[in-house]
């Protein structure tokens, strides 16, 4: 899945409510989407405005066949950090991180 | 949006094991930074280890509510017993339980006063009226959002001789005038909606 396909798939998942979150032990409140501090539509807008230069992929540590998509768009002078993956192509998106860069 | 049910199954990644089948269960979950434990949250667990591997989108409102509650401020205000009777009478007028409705009535007036200078002055005046200034024989505990608490604090500090307790007592007397004495039809209708909601 390339940059454009990842964007489209994640935005569709957000708009369709077809997503979940990956807790690592406890639920990190730095995942602002998981705790409701940002709305799915806000995250979709951030992903849509991401330029190719602010996008990266890496294999997931727990399963290298799963691609983790990292979006780091700028919005209102702040850099955001959005990290998500799909375990299955037609399954829900799983968000690891949604927060402003520290 | 698909609503998952307890017992539904899915797939998630587990540390060191990769893809595993998960089953959705209601579990308490911990929020990392605040240490809050939220009860009865639907999560995807590994049936073998019971480890929580996913939290579906539908569980977010519960997590959000738990964090919001933590942000609430509990006010304790001494009031004359007669004002507690007024709150019970107002609740009775709407056939609502006083325990839930009384705090909602006070919050309604305080929130309205935060954006209505005339009402704020009225609450300050009524809070110093004879009915509100009898011997304070009981206390009310009132949970309010931190933002509202800050707004009330600003109102109180901007008026001479008014503090937050005066505004709370004023809110109760205002409810008496508006509802029991029938002085304000619009507020009476709005409070009726509040009564239905609590």
B29-44 confidence digits (pLDDT tens): 988 877 889 999 999 9
Domains of chain A: 3-100 (3.30.2310.40)
Q: What is the pLDDT of residue B115?
A: 92
Asked if A59 is an interface residue toward chain B (Cβ–Cβ < 8 A), one would say no
pTM of the model: 0.66
Q: Give the pLDDT band of residue A1 (cuts 50, 70, 90).
A: confident
Q: What is the pLDDT of residue A27?
A: 78
- Ranges in chain B annotated CATH 3.10.20: 9-71
Asked if B57 is an interface residue toward chain A (Cβ–Cβ < 8 A), one would say yes
- Complex prediction ipTM: 0.91
| Contact assignment for A27 to B57 by CB distance below 8 Å | no
The set of residues, in sequence order, having a beta carbon less than 8 Å from that of A21 and lying 6+ positions away, is A27, A31, A33, A34, A94, A95, A96, B54, B55, B56, B57
Q: Give the pLDDT band of residue A46 (cuts 50, 70, 90).
A: very high
Which residue of chain B is at minimal alpha-carbon distance from A34? Answer: B60
A53-69 confidence digits (pLDDT tens): 999 999 999 999 999 99
Which tokens in the block code for residue B29? Answer: 């979950």
| Domain B9-71 CATH class label | alpha beta
What is the C-alpha separation between B51 and B21, in angstroms, rounded?
Answer: 12
Phi first, then psi, for residue B10 (nearest 5°) are -160, -165
8-state DSSP, B2: P
Asked if A47 is an interface residue toward chain B (Cβ–Cβ < 8 A), one would say no
Nearest to A26 among B18, B32, B56 (CB): B32
Q: Which helix (H) or strand (E) holds B94?
A: none
Which residue of chain B is at minimal alpha-carbon distance from A15? Answer: B1
Nearest to B29 among A27, A37, A92 (CB): A27
Q: What is the pLDDT of residue B2?
A: 84
Among residues B145, B167, B147, which one has the least CA distance to residue B156?
Answer: B167
| Contact assignment for A20 to B34 by CB distance below 8 Å | no
B146-166 confidence digits (pLDDT tens): 889 999 999 998 888 899 999
Nearest to A60 among B10, B13, B31 (CB): B13
The three-class DSSP label of residue B88 is helix
Q: What is the pLDDT of residue B72?
A: 81
Contact yes or no for B23/B44 (Cβ under 8 A): yes
């Amino acid at each position: 899945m390339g940059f454009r396909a990842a964007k489209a798939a994640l935005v569709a998942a957000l708009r369709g409510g077809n997503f979940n979150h990956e807790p690592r032990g406890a639920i990190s409140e730095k995942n602002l989407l998981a705790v409701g501090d940002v709305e799915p539509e806000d995250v979709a807008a951030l992903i849509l405005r991401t330029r190719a230069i602010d996008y990266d992929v890496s294999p997931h540590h727990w399963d290298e066949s799963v691609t983790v998509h990292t979006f780091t768009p700028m919005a209102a002078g702040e850099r955001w950090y959005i990290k998500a993956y799909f375990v299955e192509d037609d399954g829900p998106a799983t968000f690891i991180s949604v927060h402003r860069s520290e | 949006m698909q609503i998952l049910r307890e017992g539904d199954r899915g797939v998630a990644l587990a540390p060191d094991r990769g893809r595993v089948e998960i089953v959705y269960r209601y579990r308490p979950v911990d929020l990392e930074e605040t240490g809050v434990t939220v009860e009865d949250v639907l999560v995807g667990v590994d049936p073998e280890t019971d480890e929580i591997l996913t939290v579906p989108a539908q569980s977010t409102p519960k997590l959000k509510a738990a964090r919001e509650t933590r942000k609430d401020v509990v006010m304790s205000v001494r009031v004359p017993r007669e004002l507690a009777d007024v709150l019970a009478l107002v609740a009775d007028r709407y056939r609502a339980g006083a325990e839930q409705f009384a705090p909602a009535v006070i919050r309604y007036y305080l929130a309205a006063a935060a954006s209505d200078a005339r009402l704020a002055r009225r609450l300050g005046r009524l809070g110093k009226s004879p009915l509100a200034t009898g011997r304070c024989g009981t206390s009310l505990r009132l949970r309010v959002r931190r933002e509202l608490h800050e707004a009330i604090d600003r109102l109180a500090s901007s008026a001479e001789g008014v503090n937050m307790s005066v505004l709370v007592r004023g809110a109760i007397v205002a409810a008496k005038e508006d509802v029991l004495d029938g002085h304000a039809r619009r507020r009476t209708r709005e409070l009726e909606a509040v009564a239905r909601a609590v």
